[in-house]
Structure formats: structure tokens, C-alpha cells
A and B are shown apart, each in its own frame.
Chain A
Amino acid sequence: MYLKLSWRNLWRNRKRTLITVSAIAFAVLAAVFMQSINRGSHEMMIDNMVRFHTGYVQLQDYRYDEEASLDNAFPYLPETETRALQAHDRITGVIPRIETFMLAGNDHTTRGAFVLGIDPEREHDFNGLRDHLSGGRFFEPGEDKAVVTEGLARRLELAAGDTLLLIGQGRFGMSANALFEISGIMRHPLHEINEQTVYLPLHSIQYLLSADEHITHLLIALDRERDTRNVRQALQQEFQDDELIAYTWPEMMPELLQLLEFDLVGAYVMAGVLYIVIGFGFFGTVLTMTLERMREFGVLLSVGMKRSRLAGVLLMETLFISFIGVLSGLGLSWLVLYYFYLNPIELTGQTAETIIEMGWEPILPVSFAADQFYTQGIIVFCIAVVVFLFPLLKVMNLNILEAARK
């Protein structure tokens, strides 16, 4: 019957309650949506960076971080690979790479280039590298050819079938010069890489750089992002006597993370402002709901209703409003997110061009992470509790006679 009392009180002023409820629902929707888009794009960015750039976890020689030189490459033998794969059961694969800088040239000019020695099969499995080819074909394993990214190819006026000149230094100062036939041109999703990169088969570059059976990086693929730290731990353990060190992707890209966090703070501030506005509206409703019933409260206390009981009834009213608001807001958010999940928002104009330039799809991906749903619920619940302080104080300090006279 107390519940009935609260519930019916809500609908005494139907319009006002509906307005409050829809304001809360709207705030929840807006907050979830903003966060979701934000997180969605962050997840996409991180995923791209991890797949093309660093891997979730990476093994390097412990000196490499200080001096990123081929001299600090480490031996990569079949046994190394087995040990890495067995270090943790969430590891789904390992991707060996050699990274170095060389001069890339045609018959009359040269440019600085980022040269990557890779195992094309494994790279493709990890990040679908071959799908980004824009001309020619990818070199087969065992083939002695090069793939050049679009930006570099454009600068050097090279195309598939042309010959690429590479000049540089191998391990321990050995000179390393060679000519490679270009088998294909690719458009790399990460802009910086697209401007300056040459891909070579791992064995070719090892030979060229006098670095047989050596690599500079071993990328680790996982089936779940959240195992990153554990896997790092396991690898650290396994390879500590080999003078190798394992890094997680956040350690390797602190700037990116900072940037994303900064971005998130912006979204939080916006959501915060939104909630403050909604909080005041909610407060206004509860305020009038309380003030216009002072006389009724006076009567209830007169006839013998305990103050705590009455406060309980009012608390239920406040909670009802917030629950209905949150639930409809979440329901709505779910529908909206689901819609945009199925039909991603296509970006247009300037932004879209920039994003296409970066090789990404010009869409705003949404994140479906569950926690953003209940976080909003908790926030609104906290607001409700704060808002409830007003009627609580009023009821606890209510002077029966004064209330009755108003």
C-alpha cells in the first residue's frame, strides 16, 4: 500500500512526471550515445594501431628501446617461436618483424624509408595486409621482391614491376645495398606508414642486413585484448634469461592513449554538464512535488504516520522516477545503438576525406560495451539520492502546525 501510495503520487501531475522522466531518459540516451561513439572510434583506432603497428604485446631485446639499431636485434629460431607460443594459452600467434631505416630510390633520387621485413602469411592473418594492395600483388613467401606503400611510390614515381633501390647499413656496420623488383603497391591504413614504407620478405632483409636468423620485434597476437597484461607477464618470465623484454601496447603508444583519454575527458565533461542540467530539472520536480504537499504531510504526521515512513514513501517516488527514466533511456539507447551498429553512421565532407585518407572506413563505429549502460544507471541513481535529500530534510524538520496552516 505504501508502494501504491508512491506510485499514484507520481501520476498526480502526469505531465510533470512525464517531462522529468523523458528528460532523464534523454540524458541517458545522449550520454550513452556520446560515449559509445567515442569508445567505438577509440576501439577502432586502437585496433588499427595494435594490428598494424605494435601487436598487443611485443618482444624486443632489452637494449633496443634505448638504441633502436639492428645491432640490438635478437636471434629468432624455431625454438624461440615455440617458447613464445607456449608462454600463455591466450597467445594465438607470433609475427616476427625486422624494422629499420634505409634510403629508397629510383634511378635518380632517393628518400628515407621505413623498411619492414615480414612474413607475409602471418601478417595477413593478423591484420589482413594483402587486402590493402592497390596495385600488383604481394610477394609470395620465398620470393625476393618488395611491396611499396602508395605515398613512397608516388614520391619516387615507382609502380609495380619497376625496380627499387635500397641503400643502408646492416648489422655491425656492414653495408647493405640491393635492388628489388616491386611486386605490388599498397595503401596502408596508418597515414605515417603509408608515406614511407617498404615491405620485404623476412629472409631477404635478413640476408641484406647481414642479420641471419635475427629480428628486431616479435609481435604477439591474442584472442582477447584484456589478457594483454597477463601475457606480458608470462613472456617476461619465459624470456628473462634471453635478455628480451615484453611491452604491452599501451606502453608502446603512450601518446595515443593520452590523446584518447583526453578525448574521453571531453565526453565526460559534456555528459557531466548534461547531467547537472537534468539533475536540476529533476530537483525542480521533486521540489514542487514536496512543497505543494506540505499540508498533506502535516495531516499524515498528525494522524500518526512516522516521519521515516513518510520519507520512505517519498524516496520511492524519487526512485520510481529515476528508474523509469533510466530504463526507458537505456532501452532507447539500446535500440539506437543497435540501429547504428547495423547501419553505421557514414561520415561526409572534410572529416570523411581525412579518414578515408587514413585508410579507414568513413563510419562512426559504436561500442556496445555493457558497462557504459549500467554506469549511466548508477549515475542517475546517485543524482536521485542527492535530489531526495530535499524532501528528506523537509519531512524530518516539518512542523506539523505550520504545515497545516499553509
Chain B
Amino acid sequence: MENTIIQTFDLCKIYNPDAVPVHALREVNISVAEGEFTSIVGPSGSGKTTLLNMIGGLDKPTSGRVAIDGKNITGMKDSELIDFRLEHIGFVFQHYNLIPVFTALENVAFIMLLQKRTKKEMDERAKSLLEAVGLGERMDARPAKLSGGQQQRVAVARALASQPRFILADEPTANLDGDSAMNLLDIMEKMNREQNITFIFSTHDQRVIDRARRVITMVDGGIYSDE
């Protein structure tokens, strides 16, 4: 594979090592290349969220390490990681993605404020991203006034705004009805196809799985299949 972005090396995560240990990840080795559209699937408790958290630098492995663009993020300090995430990774969570007191536009612009972009750049980019996710008309609405699907599309726009190397999405469609889920997937796919944005997302939803180009199946903390 050329242009590998993400690589994990014998990634292990054990929760409660002292009491009843839970092996959430067992020596996981995967690599993801630029431009992939990959989904991670598997039964509940199989370790999908844990894996995404490790890759996103939100949690530390018990052993093994994660490299992003060849850079080992496992050894980074908390404050370094925060900056690293801001510059390199886009996040879409299952829910509570957005700042409730900000409008859609402000939510997208905010991430660029954290990156200290200029006001003009923030405004223009936020607007064009919201138009790209089909929310050109709802830019001034606060999250509470948006549907779940619209909120997730704002979250995708926000994740893209920082111009990350890839986007991590943990069950982005779990709270959405079927149509909204497909609509969100359409947008993600389009971004992937047209702008070569790398996506990694976990899901339970078979229709979402069908749209992925690579499916990594996890069982009990290990990789069961990768196709």
C-alpha cells in the first residue's frame, strides 16, 4: 500500500487490569492508506470504539502503538495530542457533537478559530462546507433546531473544516433514521470520491456496511476479517 496514513502495531488494550481484566483489543495490526473508505464492524463489545479511540489519540493503549503519517502518537503528552488532533484528525461522534449555543456556521468556523485561521478564511470555508453537505439554507440555525441527520452533516462539515488527514466516525448513523443515514453516507462518499478524503467509521448498520469499500470485522478484540 502506498501512502499509508494510519498504522497500528500489536495494539492491545486491557481495561481493569487489576480487577476483572477486559481484553478490548488483542494485538491489532491494521494500516489505512490515503483515500480509503473503510468501515469497522463487529458485534457489540468487540472493540470498535476502543480501536477508533486509540487511532484518534483519545485513549492510550496498554501495549503496542499507533503511528500517523509515520509519527508515533502513543508517546505524546496530553497537550501535544490535543494539538495533534486539531491539525490532523477530524471527528464525528455518535451524538453531542456540536456546541449547542453556536449556529451551524459558528460550529464549523469554531474549529478553524482554534487553528487560528483568519476570519475571512473561517467564514468562506465554513459556508462552502455547509453548502457541500446540503445545509446552505440552515447555516444560522442552532443545533437544537436541526434534525439528527442535519446535525451529523454539520459535524462532518466541522470535521472537514480543519483539513485533517482523515476523519474518524464512531457510529455516525446510529441515531439516524434510514433516509438520513443514507443521505449522510452519500455526502461522505462524495467527499471521499471527489476530494480523496480518508474516512474510517464504525457501524452496525448493514446498509452502511454495504457502502464501504473496505470492511474490517472485529470479534472479541481481534481482527476477524479484512476485505
Hey, which bits of chain A sit against chain B, CB under 8 A?
Answer: 1-2, 4-5, 8-9, 11-12, 295-296, 299-307, 309, 400-401, 404
Contact = CB atoms under 8 A, between A and B. Distances in A.
Given A302-B91, A304-B162, A306-B82, A401 B96 contact: no
Interface in B48-93: 53, 56, 58-59, 78-79, 82-83, 85-87, 91, 93
Interface of B: 53, 56, 58-59, 78-79, 82-83, 85-87, 91, 93, 96-97, 99-102, 106, 109-111, 113-115, 158-159, 162
Contacts of A404: 93, 96
A299 B114 contact: no
B79 A304 contact: no
B101 to A, nearest CB: 4
Contacts of B102: 5, 8
A295 B86 contact: no
A5 B99 contact: yes
Given A5-B99, A12-B101, A303 B109 contact: no
Most central of B78, B82, B115 by chain A CB within 10 Å: B82
21 contacts: A1-B109, A1-B110, A5-B102, A8-B102, A296-B100, A299-B97, A300-B99, A301-B82, A303-B114, A303-B162, A304-B114, A305-B82, A305-B86, A305-B114, A306-B79, A307-B82, A400-B59, A401-B53, A401-B58, A401-B59, A404-B96
Contact of B111 (A8, A12, A303, A400): A303
Contacts of B91: 299, 302-303
A267 to B, nearest CB: 41
Nearest to A306: B82
Given A1-B110, A404-B93, A303 B85 contact: yes
B101 A302 contact: no
Given A1-B106, A401-B53, A304 B111 contact: yes
B162 A296 contact: no
A295 B96 contact: yes
A307 B85 CA distance: 13
A395 to B, nearest CB: 12
Given A304-B114, A306-B83, A307-B78, 17 more contacts: A4-B106, A11-B101, A296-B96, A299-B93, A299-B96, A301-B82, A302-B91, A303-B159, A304-B86, A304-B111, A304-B115, A304-B162, A305-B114, A306-B82, A307-B82, A400-B58, A401-B59
Contacts of A2: 113
Nearest 8 A/B pairs, CB to CB: A304-B86, A8-B101, A304-B85, A295-B96, A1-B113, A303-B91, A400-B58, A302-B91
